[in-house]
């Protein structure tokens, strides 16, 4: 490797404010990064280990021979780590992916990276070198999971090696450069105890109730908006399934982590670069019925697979679970009607509603509140139909007490005193638990 002059900041604009300093720092980092790439002079294919060795030697040599400019706030060790992560890893995302307090990473442009921590969004100081660096990082991430994006297929969903879910959209669909969103999941799945004691999503009473309804094979839909905690709650409910039962999970991107020994995991597949090879959720639901499942868990119902899922719930697969994007338990029923019609069958609305009312037993609605906390807002039982409409009975409801000076919402999820209709069909010890739970009076106002 031939020596080359150290990068300089002579051409960078004078520092007049924070933005100018940031631009000057970015220009220096880009120049230093390019100097390392030029010094490597890769003219042949190298394995990952060999490439890592070559890059580390090049970085060490360059950093040992240059003098850092006064405006640079990074140490030599910071620069070394940043360059290595940019060339060998995921650049500025490396630290965020390892940070256990980060739940979501949102890349809006190469120099605007947001994260969610404890339910709140914040702009980080992290930055890619430019749009090309961002695109190269995206390609590297997707290549490692066997996926890609291009002009013909400008968006993609995938699952990284650590289980995180990645979604990418590139131009022309993304107007200002590539967009990337990464949803992280804890290495150790959360438990009902975590949701009660650490996050306040559940109460002890509701956790006991959910354990009973899952063990008694009630079909459950979890509803809520994006990022409200639907999948987390679904995973917790799945842990209540007895280990003696066979479970088949169906997901767009595999996220569930179930402890049952007899489990079959299915994952949908997007089309390849030729637009072929698609495997939909509906395809997988149909196949799951041939796999001798006791229960079927659909990560998210969002289309025509709803009719197959409802039929499975109505034909011997009691205790199945799924999630749906919806604003309330009532909205769940309306959305299911719409999704069934998407299957292309000419089914009367009354027949669709009968199918829904006989298949679904419970709807659990979750939400992310203004203070960033995630709460179960309502639990409703599906009672059946009257002449034309599906009847819901609310069992639990979140009641607001007050909003603290720091904006924290203080409230309580309370039973409404209405007993579930299946109460007499559970075991005596479970019946006594339900009697205790639903005899408690409800307090406060609806949030």
- One DSSP character per residue, 407-435 reads S-EEEEEEE-SPPPTTGGGS-HHHHHHHH
**CA–CA dist 354, 349 (Å, integer):** 9
Task: Give strand pairing partners of 250.
Answer: 266, 298
Q: What is residue 125's predicted lDDT score, i.e. its pLDDT?
A: 87
Q: DSSP for 269-334, please give it.
A: B---TTS---B-HHHHHHHHTTS--SEEEES---STHHHHHHHHHHTT-TT-EEEEE-SSHHHHHH
The mean per-residue pLDDT over the stretch 153-157 comes to 88
Q: Which pair of structure tokens corresponds to residue 132?
A: 């090309």
- Residue 12: pLDDT band (50, 70, 90) is very low
Q: Supply the pLDDT for residue 432.
A: 94
| pLDDT tens-digit readout, 213-228 | 999 999 999 999 988 9
Half-sphere exposure of 423 (CA within 13 A, CB side): 17
Element (H, E) at 377: strand 374-385
DSSP 336: H
Percent of the chain with pLDDT over 90: 47
Domains in the chain, CATH or no CATH each:
1-87 (no CATH), 89-184 (3.30.450.90), 192-446 (3.40.50.300)
Nearest CA to 250 among 289, 211, 224? 289
pLDDT in tens, 337-350: 999 998 888 889 99
More confident residue, 178 or 4: 178
Per the rule left: phi > 0, alpha: psi between -120 and 50, beta: everything else, 229 is left
Tens of pLDDT, residue by residue over 98-116, are: 898 999 999 999 989 999 9
What are the residues whose beta carbons fall under 8 Å from the beta carbon of 105, sequence distance 6 or more? 93, 96, 97, 113, 114, 115, 180, 181, 182, 184
Which residues are registered as beta bridge partners of 159? Answer: 165
Q: Average pLDDT in the 405-430 region?
A: 90
Q: Give the pLDDT band (50/70/90) at residue 13.
A: very low
Contacts of 252 (CB under 8 A, 6+ apart): 157, 267, 268, 281, 299, 300
CA distance 321 to 334: 18
CA 409 to chain centre: 24
Is residue 16 over pLDDT 70? no
Structure tokens at 35: 């100097």
Q: How would you class 197 by CB atoms within 10 Å of its CB: exposed for 0-12, middle for 13-18, buried for 19 or more?
A: exposed
382 has pLDDT over 80: yes
Q: Angle CA(419)–CA(425)–CA(375) in degrees, nearest 5?
A: 45
Between 253 and 176, residue with greater pLDDT: 176
**What backbone torsions phi and psi does residue 410 show, to the nearest 5 degrees?**
-105, 125
Of residues 85 and 240, which shows the higher confidence score? 240
pLDDT digits (tens, 9 = 90+) for 294-339: 999 999 988 888 998 898 898 888 999 999 999 999 999 999 999 9
What are the start-end ranges of the H helices in 72-182?
Answer: 76-88, 93-98, 131-143
Q: Smallest Cα–Cα separation from 288: which of 251, 241, 261? A: 251
Please give the Cα distance from 159 to 253 (Å, whole number).
Answer: 6
Report the C-alpha gap between 202 and 373 in whole angstroms: 12
Instruction: Return the SS3 of 366.
Output: strand
Confidence band of 196 (pLDDT split at 50, 70, 90): very high
Enclosing H/E stretch for 60? helix 48-65
Query: pLDDT of 401-411, one tens digit each?
Result: 888 888 888 89
- Report the sign of the C-alpha dihedral through residues 324, 326, 329, 333, in that order: negative
Distance, in Å, from the CA atom of 389 to the CA atom of 435, rounded to the nearest integer, reads 29
pLDDT beyond 80 at 31: no
| pTM summary value | 0.81
């Amino acid at each position: 490797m031939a020596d080359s002059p150290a990068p300089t900041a002579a051409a960078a604009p004078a520092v007049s404010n924070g933005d100018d300093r940031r631009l000057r720092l970015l220009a220096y980092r880009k120049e230093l990064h390019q100097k390392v790439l030029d010094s490597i002079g890769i003219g042949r294919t190298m394995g990952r280990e060999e490439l890592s060795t070559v890059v580390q030697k090049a970085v060490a040599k360059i950093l040992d021979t240059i003098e850092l400019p006064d405006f640079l706030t990074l140490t030599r060790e910071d620069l070394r780590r940043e360059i290595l992560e940019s060339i060998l890893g995921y650049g500025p995302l490396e630290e965020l992916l390892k940070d256990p307090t980060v739940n979501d990473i949102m890349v809006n442009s190469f120099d605007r990276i947001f994260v969610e921590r404890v339910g709140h969004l914040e702009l980080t100081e992290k930055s890619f070198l430019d749009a090309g660096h961002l695109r190269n990082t995206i390609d590297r991430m997707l290549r490692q999971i066997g996926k890609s994006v291009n002009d013909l297929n400008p968006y993609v969903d995938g699952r990284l090696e650590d289980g995180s879910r990645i979604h990418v959209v590139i131009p022309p669909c993304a107007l200002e450069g590539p967009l990337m969103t990464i949803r992280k999941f804890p290495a150790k799945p959360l438990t009902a105890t975590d949701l009660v004691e650490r996050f306040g999503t559940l109460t002890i009473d509701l956790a006991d109730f959910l354990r009973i309804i899952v063990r008694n094979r009630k079909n459950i839909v979890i509803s809520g908006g994006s990022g409200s905690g639907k999948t987390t709650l679904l995973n917790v409910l799945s842990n209540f399934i007895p280990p003696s039962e066979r479970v088949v999970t169906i997901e767009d991107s595999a996220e569930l982590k179930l402890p049952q020994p007899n489990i079959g995991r299915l994952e949908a597949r997007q089309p390849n670069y030729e637009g072929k090879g698609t495997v939909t959720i509906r395809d997988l639901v149909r196949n799951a019925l041939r796999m001798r499942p006791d229960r079927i868990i659909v990560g998210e119902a969002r289309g025509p697979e709803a009719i197959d899922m409802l039929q499975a719930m109505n034909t011997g697969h009691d205790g199945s679970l799924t999630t749906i994007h919806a604003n309330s338990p009532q909205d769940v029923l309306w959305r299911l009607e719409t999704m069934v019609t998407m299957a292309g069958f000419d089914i009367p609305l009354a027949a669709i509603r009968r199918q829904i009312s006989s298949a679904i037993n419970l709807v659990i609605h979750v939400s992310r509140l203004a203070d960033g906390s995630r709460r179960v807002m309502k639990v409703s039982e599906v009672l059946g139909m009257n002449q034309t409409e599906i009847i819901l009975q609310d069992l639990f409801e979140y009641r607001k007490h007050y909003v603290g000076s720091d904006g924290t919402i203080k409230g309580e999820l309370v039973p409404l005193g209405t007993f579930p209709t299946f109460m007499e069909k559970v075991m005596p010890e479970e019946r006594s638990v339900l009697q205790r739970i639903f005899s408690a009076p409800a307090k406060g106002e609806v949030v």
